[in-house]
Structure 1
């Protein structure tokens, strides 16, 4: 099972350093092999974003990208479509340029992580 607190802590640490993380790193943070985590990743990231939205936070999964995109953070294809759908399900308006929306949301996540600092508060 993917652990929301472990994922959020990983995302926050990476974002505070203005870095993206891979889907595999999210799985690793929960000690779940990628072969198991793969099918659960989209619902897991949506749940993180739904909870973040409820707290007034940005869409934290904006900084979770495929392994080839970790260095630059840009998503294309299915990952970008998945992120845009997640954003819309959380009540956000993506508009006609999903890549630009992603870049803006990544900046919001970086600023959030820097501002929040410290450990994640669990409830």
Structure 2
């Protein structure tokens, strides 16, 4: 998805994992935090920046609780958010897109 510059919903992640949304919902935050942690450990951008709430899939700009959750995960991984979580998210999404274009065709081990 990153190579195509597309965003995913939380439901898309659950479906790709073969888990119904009602079962995945409570596990999504820890799952995405683990993805942030692994990306940080490898020097990658925060790949979970592309996972957004369903209303934000078309444009990627989240607000409210989903944005707060992403920002908290980023801070727990040592990222500096600054005063504007929405700008941090947008910047991180661009970093993921650029990173994906650079890594295209490489086998990555998460």
Report the TM-score range of the alignment, normalised by the length of the smaller protein.
Answer: over 0.9
* Equivalent of 1:36 in 2, 9, 23: 23
Query: What's the TM-score, normalizing by structure 2?
Result: 0.96
Q: Which 5+ residue runs of structure 1 have no aligned equivalent?
A: 1-13
Structure 2 residue 89 is the aligned partner of structure 1 residue 102: yes
- Kindly state the Cα deviation for residue 117 of structure 1 after the two structures are TM-superposed: 1.3
* Equivalent of 1:49 in 36, 40, 46: 36
Aligned twin of 1:11? none
**What secondary structure is seen at the aligned counterpart in 2 of 1:15?**
coil
Aligned twin of 1:70? 57
Query: What's the TM-score, normalizing by structure 1?
Result: 0.86
**1:64-105 deviations in whole A, cap 9, x for unaligned?**
001110001000000000000000000000010000000000
Distance (whole Å) between structure 1 residues aligned to residue 23 and residue 105 of structure 2: 30
Aligned twin of 1:118? 105
Q: May I ask how many residue pairs the two structures share in their alignment?
A: 110
Distance (whole Å) between structure 2 residues aligned to residue 83 and residue 21 of structure 1: 14
- Kindly state the Cα deviation for residue 30 of structure 1 after the two structures are TM-superposed: 0.7
Q: Which 5+ residue runs of structure 2 have no aligned equivalent?
A: none
Q: Write out the 4+ residue segments of structure 1 that deviate beyond 6 Å after TM superposition.
A: none
- 1:4-43 residue pairs with structure 2 within 5 A? 14-43=1-30
**What secondary structure is seen at the aligned counterpart in 2 of 1:118?**
coil
